[in-house]
C-alpha cells in the first residue's frame, strides 16, 4: 500500500502509523455525558467499503492525515491534512 502524503508525496505504508476511524467526533472535554463518551471510545461502524481514517506520517514529516480508503480493496481515493475540511 502506498499513501500519498500531501506534504511528502507517495510513500510506503511502513512510514505511517495508524490512528483509526476519523469519522468520530470527540465530545467536548468538559462534557460529562457518559453515553457520548462511550460512543466515541467504543462504538464503530467498521464498514466493508469506504473508510475515513487517521494516519500519521511518523517516519516522514510527522503530519497527521485523513485517508479515504476502501477496506475491501485498499484503494485510496483521498488524502488530506487532518483538520482540513472534506
Partner 1 sequence: MAEYSAFQVFKNGLTGNTGWKQAWRKPEPKQQYDVVIIGGGGHGLATAYYLAVNHGITNVAICEKGWLGSGNIGRNTTIVRSNYLLNGNTPFYEHSMKLWENLSHELNYNVMFSQRGIINLCHTPAQLDDTARRGNSMRLMGVDARMLTPRDLARRVPGLDLSASARFPVLGGLVQPRAGTARHDAVAWGYARAADRRGVDILENCEVTGFLRDGDKVTGVATSRGEIRARKIAVCVAGSTSHMMKLAGIEKLPIESHVLQAFVSEALKPFLDTVVTFGGGHLYISQSDKGGLVFGGDIDGYNSYAQHGNLPVVEEVMSETVALFPAAAKVRLLRSWGGIMDMSMDGTPIITTGPLTGMYLNCGWCYGGFKATPASGWCFAHTIARDEPHELSAAFTLDRFHRGYVIDEKGQGATPWKH
Binding mask 65-84 for partner 1 (x = CB under 8 A): ----x-xxxx----------
Element of type H or E holding 34: helix 34-42
**On the CB side of 67, how many CA atoms lie within 13 Å of its CA?**
25
The entry of Zn ion, partner 1, none that residue 27 binds, CB within 5 to 8 Å by partner kind: none
Q: Give the whole-angstrom CA distance, residue 25 versus residue 60.
A: 27
Which residue ranges make up the site for partner 1 (CB under 8 A)? 1, 12-14, 18, 20-21, 34-35, 38-39, 41-48, 51, 53, 55, 69, 71-74
Amino acid at each position: 500500500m502506498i499513501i500519498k502524503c500531501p506534504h511528502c508525496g507517495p510513500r510506503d505504508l511502513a512510514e505511517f502509523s495508524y490512528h483509526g476511524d476519523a469519522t468520530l467526533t470527540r465530545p467536548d472535554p468538559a462534557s460529562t455525558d457518559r453515553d457520548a463518551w462511550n460512543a466515541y471510545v467504543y462504538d464503530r461502524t467498521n464498514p466493508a467499503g469506504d473508510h475515513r481514517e487517521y494516519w500519521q506520517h511518523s517516519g516522514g514529516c510527522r503530519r497527521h492525515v485523513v485517508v479515504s480508503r476502501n477496506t475491501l480493496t485498499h484503494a485510496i481515493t483521498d488524502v488530506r491534512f487532518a483538520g482540513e475540511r472534506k
